[in-house]
Structure 1
Amino acid sequence: MTIDPGTVAAAVLDADGVLTDSRVLRAAAWQDTLDSYAAQYARATGRPQQALSVPAELRTELTALLDRDAAAELLRAHGYRSDLACRHLGPSGTDLLDLLVGHADQRFVELLRTEGVKARTGAAVLLLDLRAAGIRTAAVSTGRHCAELLRNAGLAHLMDGMVDATDAEHHHLAGPPEPALHQLALKLLHSTPGRAVLLTDNQETVTAGHRAGFGSVITVTRHGVGTGAPRNGPAVQDLEGVFVRPHVR
């Protein structure tokens, strides 16, 4: 897949699945949080402890702090009552999902700082090529701490803009499949959608990209192990399959 700087002025890339492998850390943070919650719930209610493993179909949603529905669905499926839990686990009026999201976010930062995160294969080279061609770049994450994440992966200095869940909360923006986050990224890059390319590994972000009007949406399938993204559009196995045509001055 070749990006032509003659028609493309901006590139927006997923921070979590395309630029880095942070979804592994985010899923681990959620699993630790759910394990702790299950133990506390059993102690508080006197009920037997049940395992709360993160099923594959919910892993992507649970890594996104903008989506509380996935966590609620998982708890309901295992018979957990939030009213009983919050009565014992938090101050009066505490929202259970807020409690869990906060714990998972804190655990993610701990894992990021102790275990680190790797840049995806080809990420640094592609970002350098995009900058050399005069194409501005932005990263989008549906979790928090995008800047620290990319600094840890050695990619932050190659980005012209970043958008994450903190921005979404500040501006009251919905996450994918709604296009608002990616429209904000385009605004930061001073680019129109038609002259921008989006690289993602997630079906909902593919939908968001089309709704935002991106000129091109490229799916990164990660060696055939994607997150439900369609195969009927432009697709590559990793970022080494994306090339930038040299800019002709």
Structure 2
Amino acid sequence: MSAASPLAACLRRVRAVVFDTDGVLTDSARMHAAAWQEAFDACLAAAGGGRPFDPVDDYLRHVDGRSRLDGAAAFLASRGLALPPGSPDDPPGTGSVAAVAARKEEVFTALLREGGAPAWPGSVRLLHALRGAGVPCAAVSASRHATELLSRAGLLGLFGAVVDGNEAARLGLPGKPDPALFAEAARRLAVPPREAAVVEDAAAGVEAGRRGGFGLVVGVDRSGTPGHAAALRHHGADVVVTDPGELLVPGAAP
């Protein structure tokens, strides 16, 4: 890339970029948090009460970046609720981890069908700059809805690969913080992880990028909460930004 590249220096040394979807590319993390809040609060009420799910702190701490089942199990354990695991066929409810996860899925799907989630403008600018520089990109998500989210946001055509929850289930890939999802995305772009970057807003995802041997791990902190940027660095972020648009040279046209 030339010296006139609109990309920040840290991105000029990578050959591909793998993006997390929710919260990094699309403003959908709030929808996930709202769906989890409804599912978890119903479960807590059925168990006799307890401190409600916090859609910021509990979301970041227990479920952000994880698969539905892993996130449900982590939060319920944090509240001392020992529900049976259940099975994938459990209907939405409060009687098992799988039932709580199914309720979250039900609520999130309804929110998505109501209108989807817009793309973050800074992320869109960065994606176009990367395309202009000839840097291929992939999108990764633990959610099974990533392809629909990206399509509704008008971003799907900017990616050479999408590895979402459907692909993870089909291939038997473990969720974050295991690096398998990111590694599969890099494989599909035909770029080794050491020559690629990961852009991620969840601590579990940042850890996955670091464990996967990616050459650059960028943490995105849109939370506005004390300590989240520090948590991203602790889990392995080389750089932390509040928006991916900060990875463009100020004033440069993508």
TM interval, short-chain normalised: 0.7 to 0.9
One-letter amino acid matched to 1:229: L
One-letter amino acid matched to 2:36: W
TM-score in terms of structure 2 length:
0.78
CA distance in 2, matches of 1:189, 1:150: 18
Structure 2's unaligned 5+ residue stretches are 1-6
Matches within 5 A, 1:78-117: 78=79, 80=81, 82=83, 96-117=96-117
Counterpart pick for 1:229 among 227, 232, 238: 232
Which structure: larger Rg? 1
CA separation of 1:136/1:215 partners in 2, compared to 1, >3 Å: closer, same or farther?
Answer: same
Matched residue, 1:54: 53
Superposed displacement of residue 218, structure 1: 1.5
RMSD: 3.2
TM-score in terms of structure 1 length:
0.79
One-letter amino acid matched to 2:53: V
Matched residue, 1:10: 16
CA distance in 2, matches of 1:25, 1:241: 24
CA distance in 2, matches of 1:81, 1:223: 29
Matched residue, 1:154: 154
Q: 3-state SS of the aligned residue for 2:14?
A: coil
CA distance in 2, matches of 1:51, 1:95: 16
One-letter amino acid matched to 1:166: N
One-letter amino acid matched to 1:128: H
Q: Is the 8 A contact 2:18 2:139 kept in 1?
A: yes
Matches within 5 A, 1:25-36: 25-36=31-42
Bigger RCO of structures 1 and 2 (CA < 8 A, at least 6 apart): 1
Superposed displacement of residue 123, structure 1: 1.2
Superposed displacement of residue 62, structure 1: 2.6
- CA deviation digits over 1:131-185, x for unaligned, max 9? 1111111111122211011122221121111111222222221122211110000
CA distance in 1, matches of 2:51, 2:163: 31
CA distance in 2, matches of 1:82, 1:215: 40
- CA deviation digits over 1:109-141, x for unaligned, max 9? 110121421212311111111111111111111
CA separation of 1:188/1:172 partners in 2, compared to 1, >3 Å: closer, same or farther?
Answer: same
Structure 1 range deviating more: 2-11 or 143-152: 2-11
Matched residue, 1:171: 171
Q: 3-state SS of the aligned residue for 2:222?
A: coil
Matched residue, 2:195: 195
Structure 1's unaligned 5+ residue stretches are 43-48
Q: What is the count of residue pairs matched by the alignment?
A: 233
Q: 3-state SS of the aligned residue for 2:125?
A: helix
Counterpart pick for 1:241 among 235, 238, 246: 246
CA distance in 2, matches of 1:198, 1:81: 34
One-letter amino acid matched to 2:108: F
Q: Percent identity among equivalent residues?
A: 34
Q: Is the 8 A contact 2:63 2:74 kept in 1?
A: no
